[in-house]
């Protein structure tokens, strides 16, 4: 199975309670973009992940499943209303 690298861009921020937390601010396939993000300040960094090269197919399949589930909920709601 082929894999490719993806870079998750993160930043440290102060939340409303005054605590420092890590926040995901973007994602890129470019190491250069990730390094540019990290160079913008000490609060910025990135994490590297390996993902399947077929991630687009997986994403499309997930979108289809979500759409079908939503459609099923709509049909069930309409059936319930028709039986009232």
The pLDDT value recorded for residue 54 is 81
Angstrom distance (rounded) from CA 9 to CA 44 = 8
**Taking the model in full, what pTM does it have?**
0.65
Q: From edge to edge, which strands make up the β-sheet containing 3-14?
A: 20-28, 3-14, 44-52
* Structure confidence at residue 55 (pLDDT): 81
The per-residue pLDDT for 1 is 67
**10-residue block means of pLDDT along the chain (84 residues)?**
90 94 95 97 96 85 93 93 88
Q: Are residues 48 and 63 in the same domain?
A: no
Q: Which residue range(s) make up the domain with 17? A: 1-53
Structural domain total, the chain: 2
How much is the pLDDT for 53? 82
pLDDT for residue 83: 87
Confirm if 24 and 9 have CB atoms less than 8 A apart: yes
Query: Are 43 and 77 found together in one domain?
Result: no
């Amino acid at each position: 199975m082929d894999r490719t690298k993806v870079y998750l861009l993160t930043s440290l921020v102060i939340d409303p309670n005054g605590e420092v937390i890590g926040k995901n601010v973007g994602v890129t396939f470019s190491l250069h973009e990730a390094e540019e993000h990290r160079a913008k300040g000490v609060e910025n960094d990135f994490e590297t992940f390996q993902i399947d090269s077929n991630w687009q197919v997986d994403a499309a399949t997930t979108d289809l499943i979500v759409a079908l589930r939503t459609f099923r909920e709509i049909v069930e709601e309409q059936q319930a209303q028709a039986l009232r």
